[in-house]
């Protein structure tokens, strides 16, 4: 049906083209000008092809070839277990994106979580008068691209006794993926128009790991928070 | 009786050179068509997105489709009234005229396949300068010479195949003007039938996949060239049956 629709569109475009060519009077362009224009076009194409091959490849987004350290169906269950224990550093599954530190001496703290982020609170063994916030992301691929570092940045603000956690909702990333033309991919065994690694699934989460001083006891939140039990 | 001895290939060669010069406009149109199709390709072809991230799929398929349409129109231009009338200014016969036309079409196919394959590099450069390398997936961005050559050869075979079919259609239209009405109706009718009937759908799919699912370039080339030879031969045989200037 898709092929049928495509062929109908091509046929309609072709018939319309023929009608336009016959009906519309195309202004006369001298053959000399036509030649100059065509050869200039060819020259530009050659320059473009040469320039393209001179561009270094190192800065481009690389696609993942292995599943190592990435979220898969099998290790997805293990993630909740690691989060509840606060084991972020030991696993390749988590990537630290940012961290904040605030001096805090009050005994009560209210956590405002605006974007339903996963909040894990860990009480330190010392009373150092500091609240440390560490922002972790789950190492995630999407269509074979590691998008962990492309996700929206988080912000943390401390105002009086309120710790506000915000994620930029307007943040957007557009990525261009070039596919080989159908006439070329037909003859290449490894050519694919879509990366098959989408089977890894989309599983990205922002985790806010908050370390609070030993003496801070009254924790409130507008959302669910998970306390780490030692 | 002329004292100058000549043969059909010599005459075809002279006709080819003259027609190429006279029809150089087709290459000018090719450049315009490809520039327009590159512009159309800069729009989103396909995209997949999550809450924050959108991946745009870009390819040169639109440029190829436009070039194929250009190739079809070339075959019709060469079998059109202006070009067939031009043949009578030469000392020639139907065979030499057809041979020179086929040579023109083969030249057009070669130029079309080279420029199309190179034009996708313009598309890549456009995005590179627009968004920067940090937002482009490296895979398939650079086109190695081997892939470029594969692209040129495969498209050349496709263009020769499609141009041969169009050329036969053009000759059929010359034979009988009534076909100008019948052929488009039959073509559209067959396409509609293909969409509606599973039997005819299967038949057309088999014909199309005979070429499009061939993974070997060599076999595809043999298939395309043999088919093109059959269609061009058919066009030559049919045009030999035509009378004098129509």
What pLDDT was estimated at residue A62?
83
Q: Which residue has the higher pLDDT, B130 or A24?
A: B130
Q: Please, what's the largest Cα pairwise distance for chain B? A: 82
Q: Which residue has the higher pLDDT, A206 or B193?
A: A206
Tens-place pLDDT, residues A86-142: 777 767 778 888 899 999 888 888 888 877 788 888 888 888 889 999 998 887 777
Using a CB–CB cutoff of 8 Å, tell me whether B205 touches chain A. yes
Provide the token pair at B153. Answer: 């050869």
Q: How many angstroms separate the CA of residue A101 from the nearest CA in chain B?
A: 27
Using a CB–CB cutoff of 8 Å, tell me whether B140 touches chain A. yes
The rounded mean pLDDT for chain B is 85
Tens-place pLDDT, residues B8-37: 788 888 888 988 888 888 999 999 999 999
Least confident span in A180-194, A196-210, B40-54, B60-74: A196-210
CA A126 to chain centre: 37
Residues of A within 8 A of B50 (CB-CB) are 142, 147, 202, 204
- Alpha carbons A144 and A200: distance in angstroms, whole number: 8
Q: Which residue has the higher pLDDT, A227 or A16?
A: A227
- Alpha carbons A131 and A210: distance in angstroms, whole number: 7
Using a CB–CB cutoff of 8 Å, tell me whether B216 touches chain A. yes
Contacting A residues, span 72-131, partner chain B, CB-CB under 8 Å: none
Q: Which residue has 């060519």 as its token pair?
A: A21
Using a CB–CB cutoff of 8 Å, tell me whether A54 touches chain B. no
Q: Do B115 and A41 touch (CB under 8 A)?
A: yes
**C-beta of residue B117 within 8 angstroms of C-beta of residue B155:** yes
Question: Residue B119 in 3-state DSSP?
Answer: helix
Q: How many angstroms separate the CA of residue B17 from the nearest CA in chain A?
A: 15
What pLDDT was estimated at residue B49?
64
% of chain B exceeding 90 in pLDDT = 38
Q: Do B24 and A42 touch (CB under 8 A)?
A: no
Look at the pTM and tell me if it is higher than 0.80: no
B98-110 burial code (b ≥16 CB/10 A, e <16): bbbbbbbbbbbbe
Least confident span in A60-69, B67-76, B177-186: A60-69
Ramachandran angles phi, psi of A218, nearest 5°: -85, 95
Reply yes or no on whether the pLDDT at B111 is more than 90.
yes
Contacting A residues, span 198-217, partner chain B, CB-CB under 8 Å: 202, 204
Domain segments of chain A: what residues?
2-54, 73-168+201-227
Reply yes or no on whether the pLDDT at A195 is more than 50.
no
Q: Tell me the mean pLDDT in the region B183-189.
A: 75
Q: Please, what's the largest Cα pairwise distance for chain A? A: 88
Residues of A within 8 A of B214 (CB-CB) are 186
Q: Do A150 and B55 touch (CB under 8 A)?
A: no
Q: Tell me the mean pLDDT in the region B81-91.
A: 72
Q: Which residue has the higher pLDDT, A209 or A92?
A: A209
Reply yes or no on whether the pLDDT at A202 is more than 60.
no
Q: Do B24 and A45 touch (CB under 8 A)?
A: no
ipTM of the complex: 0.85
Using a CB–CB cutoff of 8 Å, tell me whether B187 touches chain A. yes
Q: Tell me the mean pLDDT in the region A4-22.
A: 68
Tens-place pLDDT, residues B139-184: 889 889 999 999 999 999 999 999 999 999 888 888 877 777 777 7
**Nearest C-alpha in A relative to B26:** A34
What pLDDT was estimated at residue A89?
72
């Amino acid at each position: 049906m898709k092929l049928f629709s495509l062929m109908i569109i091509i046929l309609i475009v072709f018939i319309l083209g023929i009608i336009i060519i016959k009906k519309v009077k195309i202004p006369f362009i001298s053959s000399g000008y036509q030649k100059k224009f065509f050869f200039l076009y060819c020259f530009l194409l050659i320059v473009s092809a040469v320039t393209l091959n001179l561009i270094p490849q190192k800065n481009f987004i690389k696609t993942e070839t292995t599943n190592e350290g990435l979220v898969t169906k099998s290790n997805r269950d293990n993630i909740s277990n690691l989060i509840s224990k606060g084991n972020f550093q030991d696993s390749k599954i988590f990537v630290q994106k940012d961290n904040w530190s605030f001096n805090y001496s009050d005994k009560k703290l209210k956590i405002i979580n605006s974007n339903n982020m996963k909040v894990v609170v860990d009480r330190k063994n010392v009373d150092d008068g500091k609240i440390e916030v560490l922002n972790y992301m789950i190492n995630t691929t999407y269509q074979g691209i590691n998008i962990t570092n492309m996700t929206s940045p988080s912000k943390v603000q401390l105002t009086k006794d309120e710790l506000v956690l915000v994620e930029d909702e307007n943040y957007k990333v557009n990525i261009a993926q070039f596919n080989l033309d159908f006439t070329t991919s037909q003859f290449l065994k490894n050519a694919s128009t879509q990366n098959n690694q989408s089977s890894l699934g989309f599983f990205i989460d922002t985790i806010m790991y908050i370390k609070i001083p030993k003496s801070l006891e009254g924790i409130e939140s507008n959302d669910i928070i998970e306390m780490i039990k030692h | 009786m002329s004292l100058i001895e000549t043969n059909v290939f010599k005459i075809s060669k002279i006709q080819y050179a003259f027609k190429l010069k006279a029809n150089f406009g087709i290459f000018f149109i090719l450049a315009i068509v490809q520039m327009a199709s590159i512009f159309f390709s800069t729009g989103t072809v396909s995209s997949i997105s999550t809450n924050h991230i959108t991946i745009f799929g870009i390819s040169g398929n639109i440029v190829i489709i436009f070039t194929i349409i250009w190739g079809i129109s070339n075959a019709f231009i060469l079998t059109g009234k202006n070009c067939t009338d031009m043949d009578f200014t030469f000392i020639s016969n139907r065979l030499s005229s057809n041979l020179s036309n086929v040579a023109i079409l083969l030249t057009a196919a070669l130029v079309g396949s080279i420029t199309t394959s190179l034009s996708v590099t313009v598309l890549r450069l456009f995005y590179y300068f627009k968004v920067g390398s940090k937002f482009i997936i490296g895979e398939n961005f650079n086109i190695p010479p081997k892939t470029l050559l594969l692209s040129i050869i495969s498209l050349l075979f496709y263009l020769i195949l499609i141009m041969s079919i169009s050329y036969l259609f053009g000759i059929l239209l010359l034979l009988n003007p009534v076909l100008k009405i019948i052929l488009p109706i039959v073509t559209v009718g067959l396409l509609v039938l293909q969409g509606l009937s599973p039997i005819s759908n299967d038949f057309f799919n088999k014909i199309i996949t005979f070429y499009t699912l061939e993974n070997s370039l060599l076999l595809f080339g043999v298939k395309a060239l043999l088919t093109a030879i059959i269609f061009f031969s058919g066009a030559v045989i049919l045009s030999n049956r035509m009378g004098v200037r129509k």
